[in-house]
Amino acid sequence: MNNKSTEMRQFSGGATRNDDPNRLDYEGFLSPLVLRRYAQYLNKHREQADGVMRDSDNWQNGIPREVYMKSVFRHFMDMWAGHRQAWDVDMEESCCALLFNTMGYLFETLNRVDEKDPVLNGWSFNCGVVGCNEQASFYVRPLKMSLCFDHNEKRGD
Site residues (vs Zn ion, CB under 5 A): 127, 129, 132, 134, 148, 151
Our CB check for Zn ion shows the closer of 47 and 150 to be: 150
How far apart, in Å, do the first and last CA atoms of the chain sit? 45
Dist CA 149 CA 43 (whole Å): 43
In the chain, % helix, strand, coil (3-state, to 5) comes to 45, 10, 45
Our CB check for Zn ion shows the closer of 74 and 154 to be: 154
Q: C-beta of 137: minimal distance to Zn ion in Å?
A: 10
Dist CA 69 CA 6 (whole Å): 41
Q: C-beta of 139: minimal distance to Zn ion in Å?
A: 13
Cα dist from 8 to 3, 16, 23, whole Å = 11, 7, 14
Our CB check for Zn ion shows the closer of 101 and 152 to be: 152
Our CB check for Zn ion shows the closer of 41 and 118 to be: 118
Q: C-beta of 1: minimal distance to Zn ion in Å?
A: 32
Q: C-beta of 123: minimal distance to Zn ion in Å?
A: 17
Our CB check for Zn ion shows the closer of 44 and 155 to be: 155
Which residues 6+ apart lie within 8 Å of 91 measured at CB? 79, 82, 83
Q: C-beta of 118: minimal distance to Zn ion in Å?
A: 15
Half-sphere exposure of 144 (CA within 13 A, CB side): 3
